[in-house]
Amino acid sequence: MHVLEQAGYEVYIVGGAVRDFLCERTIHDYDLTTNASPAEMQELFRDYQTNTQGLKHGTLGVILQGRKTEITTYRQDNSYTDHRHPGNVIFTRSVQEDCARRDFTINAMVYHPDTGIQDFFGGIQDLDNQIIRTVGDPAQRFEEDALRIMRAIRFSAELGFTIEPATDTAIFQKKEDLRYIAVERLQEELIRILGAQHGTEVISRYLPVLQVFLPEIAAVPEQIRTLPAVPEMRMAALLSAVPEASVHGILTRMKFSREFCAHTEEMIQSLAMPLKNRTDLKYMLNRMRTPFGDLLTFKSAFDHSIQKSRMMALYGDIQNMGDCYRLKDLKINGEDMIRIGFRNQEIGKALQVILEQVIEGKLLNEKTSLTAYAEDLFHSGYTDKL
């Protein structure tokens, strides 16, 4: 702000930082708005580390003390051509016009240390009443940019605010326009909804909106209410009634990260696995990479017969006793198997058979007994059956 003002420009803090400051939430980044043009900003910040990707839309990213601050030239967004991006960006000299193009009243306030808050659209009142309301006609604002539909729902989930009736009606009326939005953007908002404090209530209320891009989810299972606000867990709950064969396809279509997909899928798979004793637990640890505590929390929400604290204690004991439940902990390895005579894929398959014997406590995890068992397996014609 100092750099811009020294050069004679106006600059304000805008958007999320002002909103979060007013409702005493932690501010995680700052967005600034200024009457300096993109070229003028670039010149002023030439000695700083910057990101110029958004410059044609008026946004310069400036890295200050390792944190990115986005500075955007006052903008008026007139015609929207694709339900997402303004067809032509018009820069303006008026901060009020810049606020008018912003999505919600609570996001359309500016702050300056010398002049305080400027609130052109009743943002403070809506914050006080915990209401999310578009700036201007909601149907028109959602038609311009359908991502705002997801943002409204996301802010409602994060802040616990109610969506104002006309805005709410327009959400349902315009929800089909979400088809124009890139899946990456939908996914980002969805993850934030899933991880939000008020996520489950909001997901139930706005399920028809999410169904536009997730038609496979027919209903919100009641178990979701007892789960912690962990996106993977809530996503797994939403997909728990979907045929298991379709789950992976849905998650990859939404372009969730590899890790997100793996954890979500494993939680769903865990529902079909028994979990009553030490052997069951070791089979689960053998098959899954998701932290056991998460699997247990998830599974217990769906199956009340699970003895949660007993299973957690057993898990601790398995770790302390060094029970073997992974191939890498087995005291026999691929080279040993080759020496015995196993070849190619036979090696992994036979090792898994041996591991399962160890998991079930039918075989000790020590070299001589494992080798003897492997030799028996080889000479019993096991490989012929593969």
Q: Concatenate the DSSP letters of all residues of 41-90 into one string.
A: HHHHTTTSEEE-TTGGGTEEEEEETTEEEEEEE-EEE--BSSSSSBSSEE
Nearer to Mg ion, 17 or 295 (CB): 17
Residue with tokens 């957690």: 312
Does 16 participate in binding Mg ion (rule CB under 5 A)? Answer: yes
* Residue pointed to by tokens 């979990």: 275
Binding mask 76-115 vs ligand ATP (x if CB under 6 A, - otherwise)? --------------------------xx---xx-------
Is residue 16 a contact residue for ligand ATP (CB under 6 A)? yes
Site residues for Mg ion, 322-361, by CB under 5 A, read none
Closest among 288, 292, 269, 283 to 356, alpha carbons compared: 283
How many residues are recorded in the chain? 386
* Total residues binding ligand ATP (CB under 6 A): 10
Q: Which is nearer to Mg ion, 16 or 54 (CB)?
A: 16
Structure tokens at 245: 């064969």
Smallest gap, in angstroms, from Cβ of residue 250 to ligand ATP? Answer: 25
Instruction: Give CA angle at 97 (5, 15), nearest 5°.
Output: 65
Pick 86 or 254: Cβ nearer ligand ATP: 86
Contact 132, 167 (CB under 8 A): yes
**Which CB sits closer to Mg ion, 103 or 323?**
103
Per-residue binding string, ligand ATP, 148-187, x by CB under 6 A, is x---------------------------------------
Q: Please tell me the count of residues contacting Mg ion according to CB under 5 A.
A: 1
32 and 13 Cβ atoms separated by less than 8 Å: yes
Q: Please, what sign has the CA dihedral across residues 47, 48, 51, 56?
A: negative
365 binds, among Mg ion, ligand ATP, none (CB under 5 to 8 A by kind): none
Exactly one of 62, 147, 224, 296 binds ligand ATP (CB under 6 A); that residue is 147
Minimal CB distance residue for ligand ATP: 16
Measured from the CB atom, the residue of 155 and 206 that comes closer to Mg ion is 155
Tell me which stretch binds ligand ATP (CB under 6 A): 52-60, 140-148, 215-223, 300-308: 140-148
Closer CB to ligand ATP, residue 103 or residue 294? Answer: 103
What is the b/e burial string over 178-198, where b = at least 16 CB atoms within 10 angstroms of the residue's CB? beebeeeebbebbbbbbbbee
Residue (53 or 380) nearer to ligand ATP, CB = 53
Out of Mg ion, ligand ATP, none, what residue 103 binds, judged by CB under 5 to 8 A for its kind, is: ligand ATP
In sign, the C-alpha dihedral spanning 21, 23, 27, 30 is: negative
Judged by CB under 6 A, the residue of 10, 31, 280, 346 near ligand ATP is 31
Spatial separation of the C-alpha atoms in residues 338 and 346, rounded to whole Å: 10
Task: Answer yes or no whether residue 145 interacts with ligand ATP by CB under 6 A.
Answer: yes
Instruction: State both tokens at 343.
Output: 């070849």
Could you tell me if 104 and 161 are in contact, meaning their C-beta atoms sit under 8 angstroms apart?
no
Closest CA to 216 of 178, 253, 260, 270: 253
Decide whether 97 or 346 has the Cβ nearer to ligand ATP: 97
* CA dist., res. 82 & res. 183, Å (int): 15
What does 336 bind: ligand ATP, Mg ion, none (CB cut-off 5 to 8 Å by kind)? none
Partner interacting with residue 147 (select from ligand ATP, Mg ion, none; CB below 5-8 Å by kind)? ligand ATP
Q: Within its chain, how far is the Cα of 42 from the centroid? A: 33
221 binds ligand ATP (CB under 6 A): no
Q: Is 15 in the site for ligand ATP (CB under 6 A)?
A: yes
End-to-end Cα separation, the chain, in angstroms:
71
Task: Report the residue number, 135 or 347, with the smaller CB distance to Mg ion.
Answer: 135
136 binds ligand ATP (CB under 6 A): no
Question: Which two three-digit tokens encode residue 3?
Answer: 């750099």
Which spans of this chain sit near ligand ATP (rule: CB under 6 A)? 15-16, 31, 102-103, 107-108, 145, 147-148
Which spans of this chain sit near Mg ion (rule: CB under 5 A)? 16
